Amino acid sequence: MKTYTFWLVRLLVIVSILAVGSVPMVYADAHEAGEEMAEEEASGASGWFRTDTDSLGTQIWVGASHSPDFLGGLSLDTDIYVVGTFGELDLGLGIPVVDSDALSLSFLPMVGIGFDYAAADGPSSLIAPQLFTYLTAGSIYFESWIQGFFNSPFDYGDDSIYTRDFVLLSLNDTIAVGPQVEVTIGLGDDGGLSSMVVGGRANVGYGENNTLGVFVGFETQKGDDETGLTGRMTFVRTW
């Protein structure tokens, strides 16, 4: 009886040691599998988060770019834009034209649909056509936005065309500065130039994959009782 008890105790001790020893191995295997899945996911998509504060208020953007093999080098890009009770969904196709160490040029045409959730009336705005251009040449970076806003079909307001263009020169690995111009043109019978802001922009690196942008401009179409000084603060995080 004592011999049986002795071997039973030894067996339990051995089993316990093996069980405890296997926990780190199981954890390591699961951790490695998780890293492999994350790497696979990261290789197929990139994402970004952005927040802007300007005359429209504080706006939130979140987007992603997917590069499936069947698109042959193109990317499927999506994003959502939220300000107040208004939400917008955009869909586009990324078109890389040149991609080298010395020069990078890509175009991103998109279409979007907007909803004002303050009223349950369905779509509020068609945001199309849209064209975004990105150019990097050494220490020079150029970015252009062209967007059409068609609100009148939804009785949501006036139609307009908006463009934003800026060129930045990298002074070092952290700071880039340059001029920026934003123009809004109203469409329809009462249309015309409704806004043109001219000013300067600075992008500051806030650690890896983080950028703070500050734009200070002058509104040339200002009212008589306005100073015309305006601008925007932007934070962008990419992954």
**Cα 206 to Cα 85: distance, rounded to the nearest angstrom:** 30
- Cβ-contact 96, 73 below 8 angstroms: yes
Q: Determine the 3-state secondary structure of 196 from DSSP.
A: strand
Q: Is pLDDT of 136 > 80?
A: yes
Question: CB within 8 A of 92, min separation 6: which ones?
Answer: 76, 77, 78, 108, 109, 110, 111, 130, 132
Q: Is pLDDT of 171 > 80?
A: yes
**Cα 58 to Cα 51: distance, rounded to the nearest angstrom:** 7
Residue 233 buriedness (CB in 10 A; 0-12 / 13-18 / 19+): middle
Alpha-carbon dihedral angle through residues 158, 89, 81, 175, given to the nearest 10 degrees: -110
Q: What is the pLDDT of residue 180?
A: 98
Q: What is the pLDDT of residue 25?
A: 44
Alpha-carbon dihedral angle through residues 81, 82, 86, 90, given to the nearest 10 degrees: 10
Q: Report how far apart the first and last C-alpha atoms of the chain are (Å, whole number).
A: 65
pTM, entire model? 0.81
Question: CB within 8 A of 146, min separation 6: which ones?
Answer: 129, 130, 131, 132, 161, 162, 163
* pLDDT tens digits, 212-223: 999 999 999 999
Q: Is pLDDT of 112 > 80?
A: yes
Q: Is pLDDT of 41 > 70?
A: no
Q: Are strands 160-170 and 103-116 parallel, antiparallel or unpaired?
A: unpaired
CA–chain centroid gap for 106, Å, is 16
**Cα 168 to Cα 219: distance, rounded to the nearest angstrom:** 21
Answer CATH for 45-238 from 3.40.109.10, 2.40.160.40, 2.60.120.330, 3.40.225.10: 2.40.160.40
By C-alpha distance, which of 38, 42, 90 is closest to 67? Answer: 42
Tokens coding 213:
């942008």
Task: Report, as an integer, the average pLDDT of 128-151.
Answer: 98
Q: What percent of the chain has pLDDT over 90?
A: 79
Banded pLDDT at 34 (limits 50, 70, 90): low
Task: Report, as an integer, the average pLDDT of 32-42.
Answer: 52
Tokens coding 106:
């890509």
DSSP 153: G
